[in-house]
Amino acid sequence: MIKRSDFRRIRKQGGYAGIAMLAAAIMMTQPALTCYAAGKAEKTEKAETVFVIANAAGDRQEVLVSDWLKNAAGEEILTDETILKEIENLKGDETWTASDGGQIVWNAGGNDIFYRGTTEQDLPVNVTVTYTLDGEEMTPEQMAGKSGEVTIRYDYQNTAVQEVEIKGKTYEFHVPFAAVTALLLNEKVLSDIEITNGRLISDGDHLAALGIALPGIAQDMETEAYASLNGLMKYDIPDYVEIKAHAENFTLGTTYTVVTNELFSGEEIDLTSVIKDISTKLGMLKTGVGQIVDGISSLKDGAGTLKDGTAKVAQGLSDLTAQNETLIAGSRQIFEGILAQVQEQLVNAGIPEIELTAENYGEVLDTIIENLGKTEDPAAAGQAALVTEAKERLDGCRDFCDGLKAYTDGASSINEGASEIKAGASQLESGASKLALETSVIKALLPDTTGISDALKATAELAQNYRSFTGLADGMDGKVRFIWKIEGIE
């Protein structure tokens, strides 16, 4: 809890609109960002809000920390651990005494405790704001009153790095945080506004910019631990928010940023189920690819048998054509696996679920792309790009399957007449060599899907284990969020 005097200062500097924007930023992180006041915990819980006051460039000026000790069991004495200084009780007259090891003991009398304090400790996520006018970077003071093409960029630096062990190897992962930035935009000052990694929201009287970033996550996913996931899909994880506009006599109101790890650690997210589902889908894909690789290997062996002499041709062709059904079944299975993966990606991107089949996917996806092109929703462009990429992947897989079907049909025709064997042997050998080359490529791209679950679990555990900024007593639960107030430019 922040003291009323703190909110009075916010209201004086940023107005009621600033507080409204702070509330909007917090609500944007729902449903995982649960209300601290909801429900009763079985044991004492520490709900912590770290309020960071920064200048217009994002440089921290002051850090106020508000702690709420939820005394669920009505204990007379509550022991807390904290690094805070200048501690004061916010709502009651309960007293406290300091003990060894950074602990403080509250005479709670069965009550919840609300207290605040200050700290100089480094923050896990920092915010940097840069301003550019007509392509030239400027300080906030230089920006005031200027006119031209303006870029406001919010960069988020995740400094909370911890070591995790995955399959016997040690990696440095960031504690996953989501940063949600919110600000009101004056349309008399700014026009032709665009936002990257966010959206613009208007109620007719006010225009708000809301942006979200996941600092550090993209770096973690470039490590070997996520290599198999990188081989399966492309992703763009934002670590900044950027606003571009034309300005006349530039000013900017107060900006608020909420930094929280609750999106990754909330009880509403069943990570075990999600990870299991991902592993199952990837396992299906791996099985399908493995069947095709096995079929191609058998095909190459058959081609070598043909080259050895006509005496072995019949047997070689029998071995070869015996793999036709395996090849076709394998190609069909991998196509269906990718089709299911595409459908799941589209649903996760906010596109209504539509049943995709090998026969209708082209027409359905083209229709979706066309409809997305007609909407003014800023998210539509990203969705259209995702759908376009998905269709290209499916088209490529379909072409491969069609080619494989055509090749196996050709092998069956060769087997029908000994008179055609000699002419077809050379062609078959060439085709087998080509498929053998493709086999090596497939093997190189075939991911070890077992590692993805371990990497996702490690990331989730980092979020679940980060429960306090200033300290947490043994046996106490905790939640923490950071709220940045970045001053405006006048």
Q: Where are the domains positioned within the chain?
A: 1-261+466-490, 273-452
Omega before 215 cis (within 30°)?
Answer: no
First vs last Cα of the chain: how many Å apart?
A: 29
For position 10, what pLDDT does the model report? 41
Q: What is the pTM of this model?
A: 0.61
- Identify the CA nearest to 317 among candidates 477, 429, 241: 429
CA distance 99 to 185: 49
Hey, how many other C-beta atoms are within 10 angstroms of the C-beta on 211? 25
Predicted pLDDT of residue 367: 83
AA identity, residue 306 = L
**CA separation (Å) from 146 to 130, 131, 405, 433?**
15, 12, 66, 67
CA quadruple 352, 240, 14, 116: dihedral sign: positive
pLDDT along the chain (490 residues), means of 10: 42 40 44 40 85 97 96 93 94 90 90 95 97 97 97 97 90 93 95 95 88 92 75 73 97 96 63 57 60 61 59 56 67 76 78 79 82 77 80 79 68 57 60 57 54 78 91 91 96
DSSP E strands in 74-135: the ranges are: 77-81, 85-89, 96-99, 103-107, 113-118, 125-133
Please tell me the predicted confidence (pLDDT) of residue 8: 41
CB 265 within 8 A of CB 468: no
